[in-house]
Homo-oligomer: A and B are copies of this chain.
């Protein structure tokens, strides 16, 4: 019971922290505010997790935890390179839709040069880049993809998905941008995701 209570408290803290770090960044986040949103006394954050930096690392790790597993689960070795690439893109969409806070936090880390990024997350990222490199290399070897720079393709996919997802509130907010994508909403829409697939498959097709 005590163990369960501690876990629930920790979970509430991590959820609140994820939202606030994604909204105002590490330096802009207030531990008092995180405590308030989590519905706990501030000292409990220090008791259960640690200082602000430890909390941040925990949030990222918690959200990033199984992204790599999702990629390896969704991409089967028996698939063609084209279908592997499609599965990769779909997984990116899935991860970003399920963890918008993670996407926002990663945007902020990019903006500050990875200043508060734990080493473990960098390793996860490297593995994901390894996956797409493998797909593109296989496609090139089988003569169905052009030879290209895998990291650039990776950036195009991640960039398009994340920017589409993250720009949704901005588009809603400003009338000038409302018409840029006729289908709006919180999710990366199926139509937009399909278009990213088409464009990326076209881009690498030999």
Contact = CB atoms under 8 A, between A and B. Distances in A.
Contacts of A117: 170, 173-174
Q: This chain: how many copies in the complex?
A: 2
B109 A170 contact: yes
B160 A162 contact: no
A79 to B, nearest CB: 22
Please classify the interface of chain A as helix (H, G, I), strand (E, B), loop, or mixed, using the class held by over half of its residues. Answer: helix
Given A25-B27, A25-B28, A113 B176 contact: no
Given A163-B110, A180-B126, A119 B174 contact: yes
A113 to B, nearest CB: 3
A192 B149 CA distance: 8
Contacts of A163: 110, 155, 158-159
Given A129-B177, A203-B203, 10 more contacts: A22-B111, A23-B112, A24-B28, A27-B28, A109-B170, A148-B199, A151-B181, A152-B160, A155-B160, A155-B163
